[in-house]
Structure 1
């Protein structure tokens, strides 16, 4: 029992150290970006500003909102920049408990999940926001002047980034389920119709009530599911060879 307690405590200490390093990395990047917090928010707000009538600006209804909202955006950017290091710390913590063939797959999954999540956010920023905001602006009555609140805009952007970031993780989810033996490639192919329906249901729930944004979320989700099926074939082959060994 003493050896087990010592091992458990040592794992807790290592977990604390890894978390502390990850937090310090995010804080260091955040502090370094603070002088440009306003510029970072302006970049985030660019798609909305492009869709608003010329001369229109966004508003801040709270007293401290003009300060806290850019800080929140800067913290989000700092986390994204430090994400590879954060995931590396997580990988260093779990890697010693994995088999050799699991470690060979684990590191590519960590790197791939990071790249895919950032790719989902980039796709949302560069393609979805501009299309959706222009589509919504076309239906605005001529008798009103749109002036979005910056705090509500940040909440909307965060939810969309999270939705598209997780959507682009679909291949990783498929590979992990295949690697764990929960599903195989034939079952994934059989589930294709249900996945397509589920993709459009999820898109209808998490995106604004317009067809454009729903399609721009559902279609990539379906395509990424097909990519996951394609990659799962190689994972299944690797898993079979590992079992044979």
Structure 2
């Protein structure tokens, strides 16, 4: 099971890119992620060119100065993800519909959904800031600490892409943690892959939209139910109660 999760995580950005190129229904909601990704790519290319070491970016990342600049850039990316959460969630929802998976009705208007999405985005933002402090600590313990820090940074970047379909189903925090733990191989591989792809100078940002689409596909291909199990159970219990009341009234 874990090896299938790992392989699908490797394929997720490719699946996202292919779907983005072939499904026109995704072009409108993908406009902002593509634009922001293009800006990120141009900035990262300029940074690499200014160092004169664009051909050896992984060596440059070992320097303390550039590592600090990278952390600062990552914090800015996280802030952007929090602010743009409702629009990114729109792309994720359209992706789910394009893939043919069932999307349960939320019952909320666009303003309510936007407010909830932004609030969740900022809760994740502060959680990821705490994780980045852990990254700074473990990064001083190479070589294992370097790999662990890559995975942690990747997780802070990719958790939003995995969270959009979970939040639409109104999963509890415990349910989300259970899913992440159950599919640990997919989470680790997807996190590390997203991090390594996004730091490619001049090209990484263009993978922002495919990453959102790919993360949605990764979650929904493993759980196609529109709501969390506990909510479904409540709905079934309510239905049984209504049927019992109707039976007593007719009797």
Structure number with higher relative contact order (C-alpha < 8 Å, ≥ 6 residues apart):
2
- Higher CA-based Rg: 1
Using the size of structure 2 for normalisation, the TM-score is: 0.35
Q: TM-score, normalised by structure 1?
A: 0.35
